[in-house]
Chains A and B, each alone.
Chain A
Amino acid sequence: MEAIKVQSVTPNDMPWKIRYDASRCTLCGSCVSACSFGAISPKIERRRMVFSEGEFPEPKQRFSAVPVIRQVQSVTHYCRGCGICEKVCPNDAIGPDRNMDTRHPILTRCLGGESIKRGGRKNLESTARTLDKIRVGRISQMTDPSLDAQRHTFDLLAPFGRILPAQKLPISVDPQGKLQSDTKMPPVQWIYPVVIGDMSIGALSWRMWEAVAMAVAYLNEQCGMPVRMCSGEGGVPSRLLRSRYLKYMILQIASGHFGWNRIVKAMPDMVEDPAGVLIKIGQGAKPGDGGLLQAGKVADHIQAIRGVPKADLLSPPNHQGLYSIEESVQKMFLSFNAAFKFRVPVAIKVAASATSVSVFNNLVRDPYNIVGGFFLDGIDGGTGAAHEVSLDHTGHPIVSKLRDCYMAAVAQGRQGQIPLWAAGGLGKTGDLAADAFKMMALGANGVFTGKLILQMAGCVGNDMGRCNACNTGKCPVGITTQEPQLVHRLDVDRVAQNIVNYYLAMDTELKKLMAPIGNSSLPVGRSDALVATDRGVAEKLQIQYVC
């Protein structure tokens, strides 16, 4: 008998255990070749068979070598529970089972001496979502009739850009008694209230990025929905920069400034202005942490677009300035406004934090009127790569923070001057329309979403630790990887179609929510339309408590 080595890694230590039925397995090998994490491999097992042939028991034994599939015993090549093996197995012979007794978080740290990194989302879910404790409870009846979601027209647009208070508008009355504009106003784009969040080309595979861009173009040009997509930090392909589709794109700059060289160089050749510029200060999923693209994902085209060698690409946690972050952000705002000759709105994205209201107040009171949007990202947002400890334990929920910012604006009579955009776990239950609607009633002008877009594309990850391997470059469905054989798993047309269809469904659902409260334009700040079934939530958000 072998000595027991209790320190060895076995499947029982892993978050997922492979369930394998040798009697159903035809040894086609599909699962092994499909598993992008190398978590399963073929193995020969020695089998002993005892048998008796005569009329009387006369046991004999026979040994055979049987090929089987088994789980790799490694803390690096561990099963992510993605279920791809199960998907490809023709005989239902294999699949992952969640292992409640996993020791993986401890083992990985012990064996490697390194902090755990992963992608995906927060995986510590302790309480029900705040948004699910809120209902649309003020229904129009009798004196103010509900609208008809099919028959009436609805104005589903949200502002992106700095909005001046009416008394500061450069407007005067001409001799004919009509209003005329005296000087130019800050640029404002009216866009669909659900922006596709900032996911960089690099974090995403080129096919995924292309699919999103295709969906956006289709929604704009065929469906009449002015949906905008944010590039994420990592640049934009030159061809797109020089195309007319640039107008659907919000360009992002973050602390690493990746891709901006190329953007700046393309400026003279741009035939359209971008929809906007978004300066990313922080991200809800890993606040206080900069971007991280692991070397494994820095493929040739990523090196070209970003102008970098193949190495881990880290964006610093802060925008570096001579004097302060504020100063450098201020300069960035001025220079981006100037770069596009004050035709393109420039907004800021920050991670929700206990200090968000102060940051917002600073921006809303800035005398230059240059901040064209406050994108607030909560803890439940996703990320391509982060340290697990940041992902699970840092950050601030979005709902109350968004509300706080809106109420801060109300207290100053400045609501709407810097449009509020919220994100962070919206659409987690699959129903983005309801979440978006509730956020708007609480004061958001619009919302942005990233993770849900990945899910539309076929991401198999979830909040309970499934997959979340976006950082590895081994995305099993070709979304967050640059490996050609994985990327080709993604059907670009199908993904684009899924996104378009989701948006169309969501559009109907938003109208279905607006109609019963009798509103044909977005109910921004209509918290009177909401009720909460939880006292704490009601009190914090200043909405009616019901039971």
Chain B
Amino acid sequence: MCRIGAIKSLNYTHPSQALLLMQSQQKGHDNSGFAMIMHDLGGIFESYKHLPTLSMACTDEGLKLAEDILHAAGFQRVMQWVPETNPQPGLDIIAMPNYVFETFDYPKAYKRSADQKEKEELLLDIRLQLRAALEKDEQGFVYSFWPDVVTLKEIGDPRDIGTYFNLWEADDRFTAKVITAQCRQNTNYDIVRYAAHPFFLQGYTALANGENTFYLKNVEFQSKLHRGYIGFESDSQCFLYSLHYVHRELNWPLSYFKHVITPLPFQDIERHSDREQLLAIRQSLAHLEINGPNTIIGVLPDNSMFTCCDAKKLRPVVIGRSEDTVVISSEVCGINEILPDRNWETDIYPNEREVVAISNDLEVQRWKQ
């Protein structure tokens, strides 16, 4: 089983908080991996917010391959952070030789004349190119290449992964205002590093708890929608791609994402003020529907966060908040761990027909579908 969690704070937060959040839910997951994505970075990355950071785990050869590609494309490295690892004997982790977090400046031509959109397309192309190049013989896994975002994924016991990367000890060098995390490898199928959520694409992060019974329909449809919709190592990747498609490609407001993945029953659409649009969505994006138990947490490129679940609330989450932090978690014990003094009465248990959106000033909105 999966457990998911997310922290959004006004302050820079260390990943130890995410480990704590997930650790208390360990009975619910199978301790087979740990993955997290951090947005809105602090510490050593804070002054490079506008430049893309590459997050990758690889062999020495993989590293060379990747650097050659980036170099050939005209990227110049401006910063590199190699996490200090702590390879004690007996740790349950299948570590890769290198973990690379490098920040680059854009190629000259792009610095001069490219607009934001062009840069974003370039970053995706480069990541896809790197991923393809390193795929052979598993020379590396390229998780994200984007400004102000880092990704870490590894196979093993989350506690030991934390120890290996020294993540249990908080410091102010490696922090972020948004951290999403999940504690499981893909135990249904092959163990593949790419299969662990959260997943990332062009500023969007998504992680999910559940089972996507429309996986095949989603995959068959998404594979033709966008060059970035690849992999599909996990059925939850589909949520990321649907989110990206609805919000970025179609440029629809976030509230319509829920209408795409869990459309209202026809009889409710008939009574809805958006009847015509909702019908059109249900028709045109029928293959992006999900129809199984799921909870999704998403982060948008502007670092705002949201959560919603399946149409029958078969997988719930809970949202707890304090003055300066909002936490979303599969189980409330996770929130109790990191926000023990909050007012429990303000906890939100989202229902099956709403999206709970958290803005950057931590205003929490509940949008009814």
Physical interaction between A and B? yes
Are A171 and B213 in contact, with the CB atoms below 8 A?
A: no
Given that A413-B221, A413-B223 are known contacts, is A179 also in contact with B283, CB under 8 Å in the complex?
A: no
Given that A153-B265, A179-B256, A518-B213 are known contacts, is A415 also in contact with B251, CB under 8 Å in the complex?
A: no
A177 touches B (CB below 8 Å):
yes
Point out the residue from B224, B280, B285 that lies within 8 Å of A185, measured CB to CB. B280
Residues of B within 8 A of A169 (CB): 280, 284
Shortest Cβ distance from B272 into chain A, in angstroms?
A: 11
Interface string of B256-300 (1 = CB under 8 A from A): 100000010110000000101101110111110101110000000
B81 touches A (CB below 8 Å):
no
Shortest Cβ distance from B269 into chain A, in angstroms?
A: 9
**CB-defined A-B contacts under 8 Å, sample of 27:** A140-B213, A143-B1, A144-B210, A144-B292, A144-B293, A159-B283, A163-B283, A163-B284, A166-B250, A166-B284, A178-B274, A179-B252, A179-B277, A412-B224, A413-B221, A415-B221, A416-B283, A518-B291, A520-B312, A521-B263, A521-B289, A521-B291, A524-B217, A526-B216, A527-B216, A528-B215, A528-B216
Question: Which residues between 506 and 547 of chain A lie within 8 Å of chain B, taking CB atoms?
Answer: 517-521, 524-528
Cα-based distance from A153 to B292 in the complex (angstroms): 14
A238 touches B (CB below 8 Å):
no
Cα-based distance from A235 to B236 in the complex (angstroms): 51
Residues of A within 8 A of B281 (CB): 166, 179
- 14 further A-B pairs in the complex, CB-CB below 8 A; given A140-B211, A144-B213, A412-B224: A143-B210, A144-B211, A155-B266, A165-B284, A169-B280, A171-B252, A178-B253, A410-B221, A416-B287, A518-B292, A520-B312, A525-B217, A525-B287, A528-B215
Residues of B within 8 A of A526 (CB): 213-214, 216-217
Residues of B within 8 A of A430 (CB): none
Question: Which residues between 227 and 271 of chain B lie within 8 Å of chain A, taking CB atoms?
Answer: 245, 249-253, 255-256, 263, 265-266
Residues of A within 8 A of B265 (CB): 153, 155
Point out the residue from A145, A413, A525, A528 that lies within 8 Å of B293, measured CB to CB. A145
Question: Which residues between 129 and 166 of chain A lie within 8 Å of chain B, taking CB atoms?
Answer: 140, 143-145, 147, 152-153, 155, 157, 159, 163-166
Cα-based distance from A53 to B74 in the complex (angstroms): 126
Residues of A in contact with B, size category: 35 or more
Cα-based distance from A143 to B249 in the complex (angstroms): 32
Cα-based distance from A448 to B11 in the complex (angstroms): 61
Are A413 and B291 in contact, with the CB atoms below 8 A?
A: no
A181 touches B (CB below 8 Å):
yes
Closest 4 CB pairs of A and B: A413-B224, A144-B211, A179-B277, A528-B216
Cα-based distance from A167 to B252 in the complex (angstroms): 11
Are A145 and B314 in contact, with the CB atoms below 8 A?
A: yes
Residue of A nearest to B218 (CB): A525
Are B277 and A171 in contact, with the CB atoms below 8 A?
A: yes
Are A413 and B312 in contact, with the CB atoms below 8 A?
A: no
Shortest Cβ distance from A390 into chain B, in angstroms?
A: 36
B169 touches A (CB below 8 Å):
no
B225 touches A (CB below 8 Å):
yes
Residues of A within 8 A of B223 (CB): 413
Are A173 and B251 in contact, with the CB atoms below 8 A?
A: yes
A335 touches B (CB below 8 Å):
no
Residues of A within 8 A of B138 (CB): none
Cα-based distance from A412 to B220 in the complex (angstroms): 10
Cα-based distance from A40 to B284 in the complex (angstroms): 60
A499 touches B (CB below 8 Å):
no
Given that A179-B252, A181-B277 are known contacts, is A152 also in contact with B283, CB under 8 Å in the complex?
A: no
B356 touches A (CB below 8 Å):
no
A190 touches B (CB below 8 Å):
yes
A188 touches B (CB below 8 Å):
yes
Residues of A within 8 A of B63 (CB): none
Shortest Cβ distance from B279 into chain A, in angstroms?
A: 7
Given that A143-B1, A153-B265 are known contacts, is A525 also in contact with B220, CB under 8 Å in the complex?
A: yes
Residues of A within 8 A of B213 (CB): 140, 144, 517-519, 526
